[in-house]
Homo-oligomer: A and B are copies of this chain.
């Protein structure tokens, strides 16, 4: 529709017009010609409406506590804890008091905008139990900052990260019995924001729901690393400059499933998403990608990953791997570089004996070693001997990360 009906519609939803629905978007993207593009919330006004007040949290405990599954039967994202955390938002009232309730279905009008226009974004984060039985969240400030960016990009509300971390902490504490007391286990947390306005008009939602559910999970590799094979994908494109590939939106996921099924049908675990005629590597499945190789000129070892140019997700694990590499690999003579890397560079390194290792990085597996990549009808081997499932850097990163996550090592990220 050309007429901005939705704006008029919004006003009719409540007696007062939405005074301050002002997503503060400020994402900088970069196009092929390197001209910077920006999405600024020029419409921002900033009238103060009610923020999240953690002191108003109400808790309704379940009357039918679930029995715990044996740890070895836990499946990612399939079983959930007793409770959920929910916060409703309206354009006129702001954030209503947070509630912890028994885990329960959402009841939504079939015209609700989340079902039609993908007003939805989420986060993936984990809570760990340390040796002393304390619960630790790993870099939750990063996840909350990213959720705010994602939400604002699709005209959903933002929130105070500190208040939300406070609430998530109370929720995890309440359900902590679901976290198995063993190394490799954790509680996967899924903060989710959805638009809940009941109208088919295409416009900024005047109401939203932010909720958090929690799924206990076991080690990603219960019997040790298992290297994967990738299919370099050019016929389907995950993200582009000026798009939303750097935000954790539902919109980025459904379109990737058919290419994933097609790669699987040809024997590959995941897609390696290429971009542009240059065939730059971007992401692998739903992880960021790291490549370790010896520099062609200097012979020095380099750890490479794609830059945050708007086409890849700003992974918290990616950032953590980069941080650890700069702190602990650079002193050993490594270069750690965020730059555009072509698929051809990777193939050349493999052909010339300069390839060291390749691995994905994400919340679920921390690191996921790559054995080979199918590209243009050939196989690019990624430096692993046949009987080896992970390179030394991938192994080192996993050990370093877990030591911080489980509190063996005191670190500001915990």
Q: Footprint of B on A, CB under 8 Å?
A: 1-5, 7, 9, 12, 23, 25, 29, 32-33, 37-43, 75-78, 80, 84, 103-111, 114-120, 122, 152-155, 188, 190, 192, 194-195, 199-204, 211, 213, 215, 220, 226, 228, 234-237, 240-244, 249-262, 264-266, 269-270, 277, 284-287, 360, 362, 364-365, 368, 370
Q: Which residues of B contact A188 (CB under 8 A)?
A: 200
Q: Which residue of B lies closest to A228 (CB)?
A: B2
State in angstroms the CA–CA spacing of A29 and B237 once bound together. Answer: 11
Cα distance A75–B286 in the bound complex, in angstroms: 40
Number of copies: 2
Known: A43-B261, A43-B262. A220 touches B106 (CB 8 A): no
- Min C-beta distance of A91 to chain B, whole Å: 13
CB pair B257 A42 closer than 8 Å: no
Residues of B within 8 A of A237 (CB): 240-243
Closest Cβ–Cβ distance, residue A15 to chain B (whole Å): 16
> In the complex the two chains form, is B4's CB within 8 Å of A262's CB?
no
Q: Does B114 lie within 8 Å of A262, measured CB to CB? A: no
Given known contacts A77-B200, A194-B115, is B120 in contact with A1 (CB within 8 Å)? no
CA distance A109 to B77 in the complex (A): 12
A118 touches B262 (CB 8 A): no
- With known contacts A110-B105, A111-B80, A155-B257, A269–B118 Cβ distance under 8 A: no
Q: With A and B bound together, what is the CA distance between A235 and B262 in angstroms?
A: 32
